[in-house]
Amino acid sequence: MIRIPYFIAPLAMAVLTQSALAEPAVDMARARQIATQHACFGCHAVDKKLVGPAYRDVAARYAGKPGAAAALVAHIQNGSSGNWGAIPMPPNAISPGDAQIVAQWILAGSKSE
């Protein structure tokens, strides 16, 4: 039987737990490409309000909330109204996978790279 020192087990569990909870890496360039392809930048900017809220404001509102990415995917695909004022966001013809990439990118701070 292999004996593991008592102080190793909690450390190993912490490392495994952190890696299991970590968000998947976001392909920033791909996310921007998808957002450009679907004309998202016609109404949204990364750091300032246009017709819709700045992506950084969206990220701040949803930070740390369970189900944030799923909620954003639903808004991206189905549209929404009343969340950021009177102007509704129309639905977008985007695949669930691409909407997920864009949502993760927004939540990660909408970085360029």
Whole-angstrom distance, CA of residue 110 vs CA of residue 113: 9
Would you say 1 is a known binding-site residue?
Answer: no
Would you say 40 is a known binding-site residue?
Answer: yes
Binding site, annotated residues for heme c: 40, 44, 89
Binding site, annotated residues: 40, 44, 89
